[in-house]
Structure 1
Amino acid sequence: MYRTNGGAATSFGVVGELKGPLWFKKRVYSDYRMDHADVRWKNNHTVSINNHKINLGEGETYSD
């Protein structure tokens, strides 16, 4: 998870990525107008980020 800043004309955002093999990454969460992330693992395959449930085992993602 990391926070993004698009500059003077845009707001902060939060991005979550999973590390893959070698240098590959998969973006699983992207939310605009956020400056923090509340991350809670529900089980081995499901994570809740800012009250958005994402089932990583099914390949789900969230983008706002």
Structure 2
Amino acid sequence: MAANTVNREPTVKKTLKKILIIFGIFIALIGYGIYWAFFDMNRLPKGEYLTEETSPNGKYTLRAYVSNGGATVAYAVRGELVFNDGYRRDKNIYWNYREDTANIKWLDNDTVVINGHTLDVPNEKFDFRNQ
């Protein structure tokens, strides 16, 4: 009888390992779906154009848009970084709720202040949902 138990252990371990891998993939897919639906900055509403400012060296332009969420939701401002060299796609770097204006000021070629939030472009982002 001991021989049967020894032979079954590798099968049980393999089955348990497969179940854990499938469960992990399932959890990862749910996590990505939540991120995509609620936090992905590429899914923000376009909004209406407000203003734009170009960096001192002309490499970037930051365009600001205001988004009207409807009667029960406050306005929000979206900042879109435009790469003026034409080789990269535009990128959302700013999203803040309860704002309807955009005050944009470039401190240097790679640092912009949007409504008091300082960002080092092109890598930093501000999203009120992550604060």
Q: Give 1:19 deviation, angstroms.
A: 2.7
Distance 2:81 2:116 in 1: 19
After the TM superposition, which parts of structure 1 deviate over 4 Å for at least 4 consecutive aligned residues? none
Letter in 1 for 2:73: T
2: CA distance, partners of 1:28 / 1:50? 13
Q: Deviations over 1:4-48 (max 9, x none)?
A: 0011110001000123557x3210000000010110000000000
Pick from 3, 8, 17 the counterpart of residue 71 of structure 2: 8
Q: Given the alignment of the two structures, is residue 18 of structure 1 paired with residue 70 of structure 2, yes or no?
A: no
- Structure having the higher helix fraction is 2
Q: TM-score, normalised by structure 1?
A: 0.87
Q: Does 1:48 align with 2:113?
A: yes
Match of 1:63 in 2: 127
Higher strand share: 1
Number of residues of Structure 1 aligned to a counterpart in Structure 2 = 63
Which residue of the partner structure matches residue 39 of structure 1? Answer: 104
Larger Rg: 2
Amino acid at match of 1:61: K
Q: Distance in 1 between matches of 2:127 and 2:80?
A: 12
Amino acid at match of 2:70: G
Report the RMSD for the aligned CA atoms in angstroms: 1.8
TM-score (norm 2): 0.44
Q: Any unmatched runs of 5+ in structure 2?
A: 1-63
Q: With a CA cutoff of 8 Å and minimum separation of 6, indicate the structure with the bigger relative contact order.
A: 1
